[in-house]
Amino acid sequence: MVALVRSGFAPGNALIDAALGDGRLRVYHADFSDVASLSAALALLLQQETRVDVLFNNAGVSVGGGARSKQGRELHFEVNTVAPYLITLALKPLLWLGAAKTVINTSSNALLTVKRFDSRTLENPTDLRKLFGPYATSKLALSLWTRELAPRLAEEGIQIRSVCPGPNKTPMSAGEGMPGWLRPLTHLFFSPPSRGAARLYDAAFGAYPGTPGGFINKGKDTPLRFTDQAGDVLAQVDAIYQRELADGIAGPR
């Protein structure tokens, strides 16, 4: 098992500590908001690993409005929308060699609250509301490019879909990216992270994994709005990949 993470695992979990100790869990580090850092980690991973059976793109951010990535793009767009695409394309050579050949992108049902969407504003949004602004639109953009990319990946034998893990009690859900009125409710109504992890696992391995490219919410394929812009979103993230990452990744693409 391989983990590509920003921070290491906290000590004290016996299962994780044992897996790290005997090499069953191997960890690579990257700043997902910095393409140079991500490129270096992916290049190392491609050199040292032999296959990827299932890729879970689970990294994400939810912060206050106005934050920017190292590249100058809005931070939610960079980490929640762009980074999963960069990782997916970079790791295709290992996915080809894997057993399940499946990509699961962690999305959010917050995307269902988006009333207006313009793919041209993803890098520089004007609506900076917490949760319902750049975070929601970045997750919508993620699910849109997932839908658009699915037929192309299917031709290569790779499945891809996006999944909402549901509301979970995590540092992110209790952080600055949540509206103040919603934070107290997280302790009452949000589930433990294991519940969300189970939804992601079921989307990859369960009996009803959903249609290729679909958005799974509460175990069911859920229609997306603004699918007429899915091609534009895919073109935008692919241009970033071709311009900023492709030449820095070793191995066939």
Three-state SS for 210?
Answer: coil
DSSP-assigned beta bridge partners for residue 26: 2
Sheet of 220-221, strands arranged across: 54-57, 102-106, 159-163, 215-217, 220-221
| Rg from Cα positions in the chain | 17
Return the CATH number of 31-248, one of 2.60.40.1290, 3.40.50.970, 3.40.190.10, 3.40.50.720. 3.40.50.720
Task: Indicate the pTM of the whole model.
Answer: 0.91
- Residue in the block written with tokens 């962690």: 106
Q: What is the length of the chain?
A: 253
Token pair of 108 as six digits: 């959010």
Boundaries of every domain in the chain:
31-248
Contact 222, 16 (CB under 8 A): no
Residues classed as catalytic: 107, 135, 139
10, with CB counted inside 10 A (0-12, 13-18, 19+), is: exposed
How does pLDDT run along the chain (253 residues), one tens digit per residue?
A: 999 999 888 888 899 999 999 999 999 999 999 999 999 999 999 999 999 999 999 999 998 878 999 999 999 999 999 999 999 999 999 999 999 999 999 999 999 999 999 999 999 999 989 889 999 999 999 999 999 999 999 999 999 999 999 875 665 655 576 665 566 666 666 667 778 788 999 999 987 667 889 999 988 999 999 999 999 999 999 999 999 998 877 544 4
Residue whose C-alpha is closest to residue 220's, from 206, 241, 234, 230: 206
